[in-house]
Amino acid sequence: MRILVIEDEKHIADFIKQGLKEEGYSVDVAYDGEKGYFLAGTEEYDAIVLDLMIPKIDGVTLCKKLRQDKISTPILMLTAKDSVDDKVRGLDSGADDYLTKPFAFKEFLARIRVLLRKDTSAIPTKLQVADLVMDILTHKVIRDGKEIILTTKEFSLLEYLIRNAGKVVTRTTISEHVWDINFDTTTNVIDVHITALRRKIDHTHKNKLIHTIRGRGYTIKG
């Protein structure tokens, strides 16, 4: 899952980004409304965290512009303003939820999960390729009845591969959906993680699931 955080207070933005990354999300950050509007309109996100008081384009105006542009990505609005009128204004602008600062990060994560469930209600919580089963809710991966322990990033990478099972995914699309916009595509980090997944998933099995498509990228298939 990929999330855009639009927040001008750098320490808050960095705190949210770090916490979301630790939960396995890929996170991009914009520190003003113009950059946030650009990213939301040119990149694909599963959710947007939007501060109300941001420079260049304020949160309410930005939210309205995104909805006018037919961008339906779920939006969680953050603000230090907690009056009923402020909440109503934020929700009426097109936001899906509203959270006041300061907030408990546990509650923030819960609200993000609710937004993602609403947006992906038709998507199953269990994914499967051959005898490999991934449970998105419990973060368990099982093959041939045995649980496989993955790191957070390995889990996110495997999830992206399985959601695109049978298709070739390039290093560019992997970096966009599993890492973030600041990811250095010249490194071999993706290859290292693919190798780690192969070692954990395919090494002891005759039927190999993860395949390299030379010159194009990777695919997973039974």
Work out the percent of the chain whose per-residue pLDDT is above 70. 95
> What is the structure's pLDDT at 181?
64
List domains and CATH numbers for the chain. Answer: 2-119 (3.40.50.2300), 126-220 (1.10.10.10)
Render pLDDT for 62-114 as a digit per residue (tens, 0 to 9): 999 999 999 999 999 998 877 777 778 888 899 999 999 889 998 999 999 88
Spatial distance between the Cα atoms of 189 and 121, rounded to a whole number of angstroms:
32
Q: Looking at residue 169, what DSSP letter applies?
A: B
Spatial distance between the Cα atoms of 169 and 218, rounded to a whole number of angstroms:
5
Residues 6 or more apart in contact with residue 212 via CB below 8 angstroms: 194, 218
Residues 6 or more apart in contact with residue 201 via CB below 8 angstroms: 132, 141, 143, 148, 158, 209, 210
The winner for highest mean pLDDT among 32-36, 152-156, 171-175 is 32-36
